[in-house]
Copies of this chain bind each other. A is one copy, B any other.
Amino acid sequence: MNKKAVVLLSGGLDSATVLALALKQGYECFTLSFDYGQRHSSELAASEVLSKHMGASAHKVVKLDLRTIGGSALTDTDIEVPTHESEGIPVTYVPARNTVFLSIALGWAEVLEASDLFIGVNAVDYSGYPDCRPEFISAFESMANLATKAGVEGQPFKIHTPLIDLTKAQIIQQGVDAGVDYAMTVSCYAANTAGEACGECDSCRLRKQGFADADLLDSTRYIA
């Protein structure tokens, strides 16, 4: 059995939990982050620290300037990051982001001869992003096995989404059980360079509520 896995690691709460779960399942983990012109680059710094601290075998940061195509409050400075919930798909949605990230992860998995990819998508607290749903993951997996040398030559890829059906509180509980230090993670869309969170954006509000619902101490560092 090939036990190498590529794990998408943003440096946020969800992906740190995914890494802990993949390691716990015995995978040799190769973590992948993207420098895609996101506003919250403190998340990127957190991913490198987390990867090393948690025991991944290697960490890569792929530079990809999604500001070139625009269209999201996370990469386009002309669009304001919202501090209140809105109907439908939010402006923080980055067009085709998970598709792009999984595609590059797939390329690295081919190079490593890894058959397993892990991604922290979640269909419960998923903020209305279409590329966080199980039907998208399943379609990506089918496509990946037609796209690649490995897939064609009979070593199919499996996309693991261990958080997909969990509430934020359940994710945090599983992470705590697996030893994740959430003070090292950054979820905030508008974190400062020290990795301190705003406490007001969509992502902060979901995270706060998760700790409250799990009845666990919120170790997040907030901007004073």
When the two chains form their complex, are residues B71 and A111 in contact, meaning their CB atoms are under 8 A apart? yes
Name the one of B61, B66, B68, B143 contacting A143, with C-beta atoms under 8 angstroms. B143
Tell me if A212 is interfacial: C-beta within 8 Å of chain B. no
Tell me if A130 is interfacial: C-beta within 8 Å of chain B. yes
- Stretch from A46-54, A101-109, A185-193 forming part of the interface with B: A101-109
* Residues A139-198 near B (CB distance < 8 A): 139-140, 142-144, 146-149, 151-153
A59 to chain B, nearest CB (A): 11
* Residues A53-68 near B (CB distance < 8 A): 60-66, 68
A111→B94 CA distance, assembly (Å): 10
Copies in the complex: 2
Q: Is the interface of A mostly helix, strand, loop or mixed?
A: helix
Q: How many residues of A contact B (CB 8 A)?
A: 44
When the two chains form their complex, are residues A106 and B110 in contact, meaning their CB atoms are under 8 A apart? no
Inside 8 A of A94's CB, which chain B residues have their CB?
107
* Residues 68-106 of chain A, each 1 if its beta carbon lies under 8 Å from chain B, else 0: 111100000000000000000100011111111001101
When the two chains form their complex, are residues B130 and A135 in contact, meaning their CB atoms are under 8 A apart? no
Contacts A96-B147, A96-B148, A130-B151: A104 and B139 contacting too (C-beta < 8 A)? no
Inside 8 A of A153's CB, which chain B residues have their CB?
89
A122 to chain B, nearest CB (A): 16
- Can you list 7 pairs linking A and B with CB atoms under 8 Å apart? A60-B68, A64-B65, A89-B152, A93-B149, A96-B103, A96-B147, A130-B151
Name A residues whose Cβ lies closer than 8 Å to a Cβ of B: 60-66, 68-71, 89, 93-100, 103-104, 106-108, 110-111, 130-131, 133, 135-136, 139-140, 142-144, 146-149, 151-153
Beyond A62-B66, A94-B107: 9 further Cβ-contacts under 8 Å? Answer: A69-B104, A71-B107, A95-B107, A95-B108, A96-B104, A130-B148, A131-B147, A131-B148, A143-B143
